[in-house]
Amino acid sequence: MKKIILIALAGSFLIGCNIKKEDKGELPEIDVDVTADAGELPEYDVNWADVNVGTRTEIVEIPKVVIVMEEEEVEIPYIDVDIPNGGDKKERTIMVEAEVTDMEHKLEIQEIWAAGDKLYVIAELEPTDKSIGEQTIRVSDQVTINAPDLNVQYYIVGSRPDRVFNSRYDYLENTNALKSSLENPKKLYSR
């Protein structure tokens, strides 16, 4: 194994250099008396590749990691719902999220309505005046609800940010059309 490595190193040394024969050599002359004149080895001028190692400054794209989830102690709205013949109640967190770029946004759950066997969660997404550049951040809001298992539909009032993640929710210009399509919705929560 060591011989193979040495041969490979010697081969790479010979490939990476330019060898030019300067003078032809002579073999020593041998006399039968066993006297010999000194021979002369050929001379070689070896020009090795010039190698410069250093640094230079270039502009490259570097991915930036943005951490958007932090643990903080905050007041979270809590809703306890009793529905006649609604069955067992279960506590769960209702959360809305949006991914935004360019400007920081505020996302808040404004209202929760009940109609039939469904909950309608209405949140509002508004840009602030603080720029975040080309970064992408995720904003969210949540409410804890203790209620029978109901189907939940999520709506966000505001412009849908141009991110694939944001296709999870329906975006509305306002809630007028939604309210008029429901039969006697009961408001369970309002900010």
How far apart CA 2 and CA 132 sit, in angstroms, is: 57
| Entry pTM | 0.58
Which helix or strand (DSSP H or E) is residue 178 part of?
A: helix 176-181
Rounded CA-CA distance 103/133 in Å is 7
Residue 91 to residues 5, 79, 143, 183, Cα–Cα distance (Å)? 68, 9, 11, 26
116-175: pLDDT as tens digits: 888 899 999 999 999 988 888 999 998 888 887 788 999 999 999 988 888 989 999 999
> Three-class SS of residue 120?
strand
